[in-house]
């Protein structure tokens, strides 16, 4: 495309480029400190075993905080947590208007209300197909299909040129809920001229086309029709299209639908608020579960990823206050297990199997389809938009690398892999990485924000492998022991291989160490502490094979 302005259009991902989830992308127009910025998506990741005690992970926003006065708006492409879940956490630091479609707005309102931010956060609700200005940015939201209502590709027009940010999407011409992907409008935008496409890479490794939601609906109805007793379906709570398919299947075979799980109720309420689920009829609360005949009940619940606090895990383990399964009931997992969740999902499977519950997964039948484009869908999208350049986003490194080469082979002249923290000049092109900026992750630890790299989760992870020993010694001014050392062992075996108490061995080591240190050295607390730590770790390594975390406190009397 021709250079239409001396202005620069730049792009920098703060999350989502080099990983799945935590999507946050910045676009800036201007030069240097005079740039004006918009943010596309503001999402979270969820902690796992690698981050003990951490439920929510946010992008590091130090860079855009420094330019907060020039952040003109936050655009949300759709309602998934990894695209809007950070809004309520980060809005006090960003304080920019939030632009989103009606369904996403309902979800954001719930989150803002929980943090008492609803009244002060400016929500600018925009319908799909709308076009509006945010300062020097001309924005258009184009309808696409995905596994949630009202997903949008974002067209960003500036004096420097036009970028299309695809958001999450797939090509589904028979979706469970409207609208269909707006192919005609995307073709028109392609004829206008697209300088850069920043595109979803989640499913780029897979050939062909993702199955339609209509095929999933048929598969679900076939299985539910064959069931003789209770049926439970678990899926992503945000997947209103899947809920629609399940409800239709239940009605077709004469079953009442019961909802369980807070997120399932929240999302269904949001869907009804914008006019979806009109034909779903009455959806019962979990209190009605026991009152229904087993062959007339269909439960829809949260917990497809094995989350310990979600409904399915609580039911499977017998911890749910209202719902239990009996032998011969059926549990349908209408989902794919997200990498990293395999152990928790397997634990739920085993609990269900122990109770004699039949388990059906997407490996057994057509009961799930992805919301992201495979290679055939990407090629059609490229053909509609005809971008001069492509930058892959929303994917792990292997996805971004593959997408870069795939698009090049498909005839796109210029492609560039950009990861979190790489400030890239898009226009005038060709796209080029020009600077590395501060980026990373922030842990939500209780009510506090802490740096992921240097936060307490690192120590918790170490503690989970090797345990903790805390030691207290009381010395005189000259360095003599005034009382017996005190020791606490957490996560340490009680006895060594020969049956001797490890605690007793360590106490002997502490006393021997103090007795052997010169009097001059014993007057220096730091040296005393370091010598005790070294001896304790060495002994643990010899008798146990591990080196625990050791804390030593010295008191003087």
One domain, residues 325 and 239:
yes
The reported pLDDT for the residue numbered 16 is 96
Q: Are residues 414 and 435 in the same domain?
A: yes
Cα distance between residue 337 and residue 307, in whole Å: 11
CA distances 343 to 236, 346, 355, 356, Å, are: 18, 5, 19, 20
Is there a domain that residue 461 lies in? no
Asked if 74 and 50 count as a contact pair (C-beta separation under 8 A), the reply is no
Is residue 365, in this structure, part of any structural domain at all?
Answer: no
Residues 497 and 434 in one domain: no
- Average pLDDT score, the chain: 93
Domain boundary pick from 451, 479, 495? 451
Task: Name the least confident of 47-51, 237-241, 405-409, 457-461.
Answer: 47-51
182-236 per-position pLDDT tens digit: 999 999 999 999 999 999 999 999 999 999 999 999 999 999 999 999 999 999 9
CB 193 within 8 A of CB 162: yes
pLDDT digits (tens, 9 = 90+) for 166-187: 999 999 999 998 889 999 999 9
* pLDDT at residue 1 is higher than 70: no
277 and 321 housed in the same domain: yes
Judge if 184 and 42 occupy the same domain: yes
Give tens-digit pLDDT for 82-134.
Answer: 999 999 999 999 999 999 999 999 999 999 999 999 999 999 999 999 999 99
Tokens 């030593």, located at residue = 552
Do residue 344 and residue 385 come from a single domain? no
Q: How far is CA 71 from the centre of its chain?
A: 24
Does residue 3 have a pLDDT over 70?
no
Asked if 31 and 175 sit in the same domain, the reply is yes
Residue 115, domain member (yes or no): yes
User: For 504-539, how does the pLDDT look when each residue is reduced to its tens digit (9 = 90+)?
Assistant: 999 999 999 999 999 888 889 999 999 999 999 999
Is 256 inside a domain boundary? yes
User: Is 457 part of any domain?
Assistant: no
Which SS3 state, helix, strand or coil, does residue 25 take? strand
Same domain, 327 and 403: no
Q: How far apart (Å, rounded) are the C-alpha atoms in residues 515 and 477? A: 15
Identify the DSSP state of 550: E
pLDDT at 33 over 50: yes
Percent of the chain with pLDDT over 90: 83
Q: What is the mean pLDDT of residues 7-33?
A: 95
Residue 13: which CATH number?
A: 3.60.15.10
Same domain, 394 and 354: no
Kindly report the pTM of this predicted structure. 0.89
Instruction: For residue 288, give its domain range.
Output: 213-360
**Whether residues 515 and 398 fall in one domain:** no
Q: What local confidence, expressed as pLDDT, does residue 480 receive?
A: 82
> Which runs of consecutive H residues, i.e. helices, occur in 115-261?
183-192, 213-226, 240-252
Question: Is there a domain that residue 1 lies in?
Answer: no
Residues 196 and 239 reside in one and the same domain: no
Indicate the number of domains in the chain: 3
Tell which wins on pLDDT, 485 or 341.
485
Residues 336 and 397 in one domain: no
CATH of the domain at 335: 3.40.50.10710
Q: Span 242-253, mean pLDDT?
A: 93
């Amino acid at each position: 495309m021709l250079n239409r302005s001396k202005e620069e259009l730049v792009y920098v991902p703060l999350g989502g480029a080099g990983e799945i989830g935590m999507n946050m992308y910045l676009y800036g127009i201007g030069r240097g400190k005079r740039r004006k910025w918009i943010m596309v998506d503001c999402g979270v990741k969820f902690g796992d075993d690698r981050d003990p005690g951490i439920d929510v992970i946010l992008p590091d926003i130090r860079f855009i905080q420094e330019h907060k006065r020039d952040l003109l708006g936050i655009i949300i492409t759709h309602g998934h947590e990894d695209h809007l879940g950070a809004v309520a956490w980060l809005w006090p630091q960003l304080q920019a208007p939030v632009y989103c479609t009606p369904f996403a707005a309902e979800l954001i309102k719930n989150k803002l209300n929980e943090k008492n931010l609803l009244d002060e956060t400016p929500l600018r609700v925009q319908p799909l197909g709308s076009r509006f200005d945010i300062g020097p940015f001309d924005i258009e939201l184009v309808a696409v299909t995905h596994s949630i209502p009202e997903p949008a590709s974002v067209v960003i027009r500036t004096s420097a040129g036009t970028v299309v940010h695809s958001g999450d999407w797939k090509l589904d011409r028979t979706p469970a809920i409207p609208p269909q992907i707006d192919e005609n409008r995307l073709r028109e935008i392609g004829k206008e001229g697209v300088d850069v496409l920043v595109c979803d890479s989640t499913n780029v490794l897979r050939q062909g086309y993702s199955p339609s939601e209509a095929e999933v609906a048929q598969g679900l109805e076939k299985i539910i029709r064959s069931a003789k007793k209770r049926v439970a379906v678990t899926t992503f709570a945000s997947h209103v299209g899947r809920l629609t398919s399940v409800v239709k299947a239940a009605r077709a075979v004469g079953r009442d639908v019961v909802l369980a799980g807070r997120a399932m109720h929240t999302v269904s309420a949001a869907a009804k608020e914008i006019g979806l689920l009109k034909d779903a009829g009455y959806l019962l609360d979990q209190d009605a579960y026991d009152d229904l005949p087993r062959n007339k009940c269909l439960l829809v619940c949260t917990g497809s990823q094995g989350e310990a606090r979600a409904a399915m895990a609580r039911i499977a383990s017998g911890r749910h206050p209202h719902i239990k399964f009996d032998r011969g009931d059926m549990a349908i997992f209408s989902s794919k297990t997200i990498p990293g969740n395999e152990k928790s999902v397997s634990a739920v499977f085993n609990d269900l199997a122990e109770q004699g519950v039949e388990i059906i997964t997407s490996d057994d039948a057509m009961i799930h389809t992805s919301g992201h484009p495979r290679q055939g869908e990407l090629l059609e999208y490229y053909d509609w938009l005809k971008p001069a350049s492509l930058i892959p986003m929303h994917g792990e490194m292997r996805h971004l690398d593959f997408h870069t080469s795939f698009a090049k082979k498909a005839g796109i002249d210029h492609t560039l892999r950009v990861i979190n923290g790489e400030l890239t000049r898009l226009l005038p092109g060709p796209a080029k990485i020009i600077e590395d900026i501060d980026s990373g992750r922030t842990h939500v630890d209780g009510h506090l924000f802490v740096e992921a790299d240097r936060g307490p989760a690192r120590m918790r992870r170490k503690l989970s492998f090797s345990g903790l020993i805390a030691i207290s010694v009381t010395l005189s001014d000259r360095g003599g022991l005034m009382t017996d050392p005190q020791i606490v062992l957490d996560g340490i075996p009680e006895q060594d291989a020969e049956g001797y108490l490890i605690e007793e061995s360590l106490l002997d080591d502490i006393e021997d160490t103090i007795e052997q240190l010169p009097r001059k050295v014993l007057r220096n607390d730091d040296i005393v502490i370091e010598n005790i730590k070294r001896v304790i770790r060495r002994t643990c390594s010899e008798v146990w094979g591990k080196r625990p975390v050791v804390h030593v406190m010295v008191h003087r009397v």
